[in-house]
Amino acid sequence: MLEKLNGKTRTRTNAAADRRLANRTVLITGGAGFLGSHLCRANLALGARVICVDNLATGRMSNIRALLDDPAFVFINHDVREPFDPGEPVHYLFNLASPASPPKYELDPVATFETNVIGSENALKLAGAKGARILQASTSEVYGDPVVTPQKEIYRGNVQTMGPRACYDEGKRAAETLFYLFHERDGVDIRVARIFNTYGPMMDPEDGRVVSNFIVQALTGADLTIYGDGHQTRSFCYVDDLVAGLMSLMYHEGDISKPVNLGNPDEFTIRELAQIVLDLTHSRSGLVFRDLPTDDPMQRRPDIEHARAILGWEPRIPLREGLTRTIPYFAAELARNSYQAAVET
């Protein structure tokens, strides 16, 4: 029904007149989080009714407050570990509910595992009952600490079943298996996106992941905390590129039930990232070195040939440009928070 919704197609479209999702209902679990709130807006912009299901474990009402006045938007405060049904048709379901930042998902590892496994099963049952297409927000963490680079979808990974990251990594792997099983057994129409490190506005300043930590530290004059020697690598994708990829994957017709990597293949060491953040913020912060967390992957870089071939999608926003767009957001968040703290004291 829908053609590509990647960046290329959208730039040719009059967004205000683009109602390709009119009369369609899109349910987004984890819709009050960083990525989920962008997806809520992207689907509303195409005329969809959007149901956001979130228990605010790591999400924030401030991410979706501006949407609450929109009659096409509904927020349901609900823990996806319990079954759910909004009591109306659902045509598309984005399954994003799960903490994503290591310090957040390690706080309650059993809840993280259950959210990914039981929550995904509940979402799959709902999609099956409604005849909805469902997209899983999987992760590059299914590759664990990869020994091949770049990582292609056929790579089976190098993952620990135990240890601090296992609740997330193995929860996401089990969720992928559940998606595959519901597709095989019940014919549920599935999409599986393996998302690599993504950053941008709407991240919680207290999220704990590296981009938000470094920007907040640089803006407040604190030392940037480098874990280990900083030679480990990550490939950072700007949120608009990632959301375009998720939309494209969801709304592209055809059998795309196999996992698809979505991320930016430009790879940086954590030390390089720190230097770029210091340059762009004109900060005089220093660097401070902390222990490398257990099982912290040493390298990560997506091979995105599959996404290019089937979706025509690729990221367009280089790291420096994405950070330049992101830094003012964090500056505003810090100003808002210090204002609120002042008002509350």
Question: What's at 173, amino acid-wise?
Answer: R
- Catalytic, 168? Answer yes
Q: Are strands 267-269 and 233-235 parallel, antiparallel or unpaired?
A: antiparallel
CB of 337 to ligand UDP, least distance (A): 19
Token readout for 88 is: 């109306």
Q: Of these, 98, 233, 283, 326, which contacts ligand NAD (CB under 6 A)?
A: 98
Burial group, residue 44, by CB count within 10 angstroms (0-12, 13-18, 19+): middle
Q: Which of 9, 225, 257, 275 binds ligand UDP (CB under 6 A)?
A: 225
- DSSP structure string for 26-39: EEEETTTSHHHHHH
Do residues 242 and 198 lie in contact, with contact meaning Cβ atoms separated by under 8 Å? yes
Per-residue x/- marks for ligand NAD, 196-215, CB under 6 A?
Answer: -xx-----------------
Q: How many CA atoms lie within 13 A of 316 on its CB side?
A: 11
Least separation, in Å, of the C-beta of 142 and ligand UDP?
Answer: 12
Cβ proximity to ligand NAD: between 25 and 198 the closer is 198
Residue 322 engages ligand NAD in binding (rule: CB under 6 A) = no
Q: HEC profile for 141-156? A: HHHECCCCCCECCCCC
Binding test (CB under 6 A) with ligand UDP, winner from 151, 213, 248, 281: 213
Residue 233 touching ligand NAD (CB under 6 A)? no
Q: Lay out the site mask for ligand UDP across 153-192 (x = CB under 6 A, - = otherwise).
A: ----------------------------------------
Angle at 314 between CA 123 and CA 247, to 5 degrees: 30
The sheet with strand 73-77 has its strands ordered as: 73-77, 49-54, 25-29, 92-95, 133-139, 190-195, 260-262
Our CB check for ligand NAD shows the closer of 246 and 283 to be 246
| Chain residues that interact with ligand UDP, rule: CB under 6 A | 101-102, 197, 209-210, 213, 225-227, 232, 234, 270, 293, 296
| Chain residues that interact with ligand NAD, rule: CB under 6 A | 29-30, 32-36, 54-59, 79-81, 96-100, 115, 119, 137, 139, 195, 197-198
Residues belonging to the active site: 168
